[in-house]
Structure 1
Amino acid sequence: MGVIVIQRVRVRWGAAGRGAPQANARRGLNRPVTLPAPLPTGDVVVHDVLADEAASYSPRSDVLTGGVSIARDLTLWLAFEGSAVTVERLPGWAAFPRTGVSTRLFTLAQGQVGRYRANFRLIGCDCDPSWYYEDWMVHVSNGSAAGDRFLRGDPDHVVDNRVHLYGGPAPRASR
């Protein structure tokens, strides 16, 4: 197994942030960013970025490293066959869309990058049943990645599982 680099960029907002002015405030925030340098060593390196409405969409970034189990914290499953890695989306805690089974996203050969897009309506704990929403852009690189790897070029595989969170037709797919 080689190095796997994962970057998850999330934008989060509450129910009050559903209107057009609030949507304009978060437009363009869910895009790849430069990886921190130097990246720590490890089998799996995760760069997790969150732009939260509660923090005026000021991005907060964490870098985590470890074995393949670290991907489970992102509801991803990594399976290896030789130098290839298969990435699956595990069932999560989303209230909508509800998925009860794992979904295969893509298989990456050495040096390939995959992009996964999704959005969710989530609910807090039982003590705080308020809704909030997240829009994700996840990049996975099978192999070490330069700081701008997710910013340049097209990924080798793209999966867009975004849905319309407020009812109506699904949003227009984009790369």
Structure 2
Amino acid sequence: MILIQRVRVRWTADARGAPAANARSGLARPRPLPGPLPEAEVVVHDVLADQAVGYQDREGVRAGGVALAREAGLWLGSGRASVVVDRLPGSAGYPRPSASARLFTLAAGQVGRYRANFRFTGCACSPSWYYEEWLVHVAHGPVARFGYGEPDRDVDHRVRLYGGARVGEPS
């Protein structure tokens, strides 16, 4: 089983200031897994905390084959003893979408964590921006919960969405 939990926090341009940032601080964190999880090759637990609904979690669980990972923006390739996790190109306006990117390879029993943030725009008829911060955990095998201890692999692609250096780099 490959278990994916994607937690997204979404906000609009109106919520860019410090008070709004404080309100969503800490929302991009692992959530308890709903139980019991379905038996399948891939299980995706998708959580969205959206400013439009007061950051109340909306969540769902889907189960199926490896193609299901595409819904979480990932591509999975598997060998006999490992699973390769790539980030698929998306529709973000910033950072610019690129070709798929290798995130990590997980052996059986390992957990990977991917963190990123994005600025999206609607269609050309509605040029309003919205932002998302993602926290994605991928487990190669069953886990009791995410966020307990350090993951075996950790990739941080967060950037400064309003300009400047990458998160964690000197300004």
Q: Which moved more, 1:4-13 or 1:73-82?
A: 73-82
2:104 to 103, 106, 115: 106
SS state at 1:98 partner: coil
Query: Once the two structures are superposed, what CA deviation does each residue of 1:68-113 show, in whole Å capped at 9, x if it has no partner?
Result: 1111111100001112000000110001001221100000000000
**2:165 corresponds to which letter in structure 1?**
P
Query: Please, which runs of 5 or more residues in structure 1 have no aligned partner?
Result: none
1:157 to 147, 150, 153: 153
**1:56 corresponds to which letter in structure 2?**
G
Displacement after TM superposition at 1:144 (Å): 1.4
- TM-score, normalised by the number of residues in structure 1: 0.94
CA distance in 1, matches of 2:6, 2:97: 19
Displacement after TM superposition at 1:169 (Å): 2.3
Equivalent residue, structure 2, for 1:19: 17
Equivalent residue, structure 2, for 1:171: 167
Equivalent residue, structure 2, for 1:134: 132
CA distance in 2, matches of 1:33, 1:46: 13
Identity percentage over the alignment? Answer: 60
Q: Which moved more, 1:124-133 or 1:23-32?
A: 124-133
CA distance in 2, matches of 1:22, 1:172: 21
Asked whether the equivalents of residues 34 and 151 of structure 1 are also in contact (C-alpha less than 8 Å), the reply is: no
SS state at 1:129 partner: coil
Asked whether the equivalents of residues 4 and 140 of structure 1 are also in contact (C-alpha less than 8 Å), the reply is: yes
What value does the CA root-mean-square deviation take over the aligned residues?
1.0
- TM-score, normalised by the number of residues in structure 2: 0.96
Equivalent residue, structure 2, for 1:143: 141
**2:118 corresponds to which letter in structure 1?**
F
Query: Please, which runs of 5 or more residues in structure 2 have no aligned partner?
Result: none
**2:34 corresponds to which letter in structure 1?**
P
CA distance in 2, matches of 1:111, 1:128: 45
Matched length = 169
CA distance in 1, matches of 2:124, 2:81: 43
Equivalent residue, structure 2, for 1:74: 72
CA distance in 2, matches of 1:110, 1:79: 14
**Greater than 6 Å deviation, 4+ residue runs:** none
